[in-house]
Amino acid sequence: MIERYTLPEMGRVWSEAHKYELWCRVETLVLEAHAAAGRVPADVVEPVRQAPPPTPEAVAEIEATTQHDVIAFLSAWADNTEPRSAAAYVHHGMTSSDLLDTALAVQLTDATDVLLAKADRLVAALRDHGLAHRHTIKVGRTHGVHAEPDVWGHRVADLAFAAARSRDRLRTARAAVGVVAISGAVGTYSLIDPSVERIVAEALDLRAADASTQVVLRDGISEWVSSLAILATVCEAIALEVRHGQRTEVRELSEAFGSGQKGSSAMPHKKNPIRSERIAGLARVVRAAIVPVMEGIPLWHERDISHSSTERVFLPDAAITLDYLLDLTAGLVENLVVDVDRMRANLDSTGGLIYTSAVLLELVEGGMGREQSYALVQGAAMQTWQTGTPFRETLRARAEADGVALDEAKLDDICRPERYVANLDPLFERLAALS
């Protein structure tokens, strides 16, 4: 992922230098287990433990000849080991994927922990914003068209619970990728004792694989990437709400606009939802990882490395991008500008059409047939759409023409927006408890 969207903590997780640090850690743990069991000389452990990880440049130089990254790493690390002969016992009984998959599991769980912390921040921001606007009346929309009165906090609560569910899916997926496999060339432990795998897993606070061939089957990693994509898409849903709300014709929401910020090189008046649009664009990048990574589940008899190149690109990119997205989205919510007066003005802009559903039910409950009631209310509503005459006036005229008596006192109550959100208290109690 390009530096523009890479935050330092997550960038460190996926750096080449850190990867080789993890490879050294895994190999050292295996060597210590062998030595403790008496399978290798005990005096080789300390020289290997003290050997600094090789630099990415040193590994790359050797790999240019070997065309094998693990062999290149082992050779470069051996060059850093004193005495070099101690390095002969490194990678004892292992195959490359024992090292690769186990170190990758550490990277994936470390990356997940960074993401979960930022997801917690986003959930908290949405929760607090929703509670702050539990009484902010606005129009509820369906298909982009005014429907019934609502409160802004209700819409935010929906997004908060979605973000929390998505975070929890990611937490579950962490367990799916936190898997150690140190089982040898075809997963049969032919040259390495199964106890080594268990010891290493415990040291890394991971779990030993239920089974592996030379690799861990990629269903767990696919689950992890899918959970990232879902969380990224929830971020996009939040951003889309802001983009709609910042449209000139709506103007209910807007991103914070800092002193000195510019919206357009040509039009000085512009204040564009650039953060929200960036979120929408980058969510596509995370979603794009799903299919290529999932296609690493079926491998050739019984494994090949076609998944390797894919994962080198998509796993870091998906994690780094979502990390940036979560940070950006939390900041968007924390600094969101809400125009309460504009929300109320928009609610009133259709002349009372947002009350038609309650009027329909009132007529039915008063004894009129549903079809007749619907025809009466729809006819009045269409006249309001066409002429701009307030709905109460067109309704009154239609009812009088049809010989229907209206209870004006009940209509006064029906046409009060607060009536429509009176049953939301339990929802906001659930929101307040969200963590």
Query: Distance between CA atoms of 162 and 434, rounded to whole angstroms?
Result: 11
Query: Distance between CA atoms of 354 and 414, rounded to whole angstroms?
Result: 10
Query: Distance between CA atoms of 45 and 33, rounded to whole angstroms?
Result: 10
Coil, helix or strand for 180? strand
List the catalytic residue out of 143, 265, 301, 435.
143
Nearest one of 336, 425, 416 to 137, comparing CA atoms: 416
Residue 45 CB: number of other CB atoms within 10 A? 18
DSSP annotation string for 301-361: SS--SHHHHHHHHHHHHHHHHHHHHHHHHHHHHHT-EE-HHHHHHHHHTTTTGGGHHHHHH
DSSP annotation string for 79-135: HTSSSGGGGGGTTTT--HHHHHHHHHHHHHHHHHHHHHHHHHHHHHHHHHHHHHTTT
Query: Distance between CA atoms of 409 and 411, rounded to whole angstroms?
Result: 5
Query: Distance between CA atoms of 397 and 254, rounded to whole angstroms?
Result: 40
* 143 has catalytic annotation: yes
Side chain identity at residue 201, one-letter code = A
Q: Which residues contact 389 (CB under 8 A, 6 or more apart)?
A: 351, 383
Query: Distance between CA atoms of 105 and 98, rounded to whole angstroms?
Result: 11
Side chain identity at residue 234, one-letter code = V
Residue 337 CB: number of other CB atoms within 10 A? 14
Coil, helix or strand for 253? strand
Coil, helix or strand for 244? helix
C-beta separation of 325 from 279 below 8 A: yes
List the catalytic residue out of 85, 195, 264, 306.
264
Query: Distance between CA atoms of 348 and 366, rounded to whole angstroms?
Result: 27
* 264 has catalytic annotation: yes
Query: Distance between CA atoms of 328 and 90, rounded to whole angstroms?
Result: 43
Residues annotated catalytic, as ranges: 143, 264
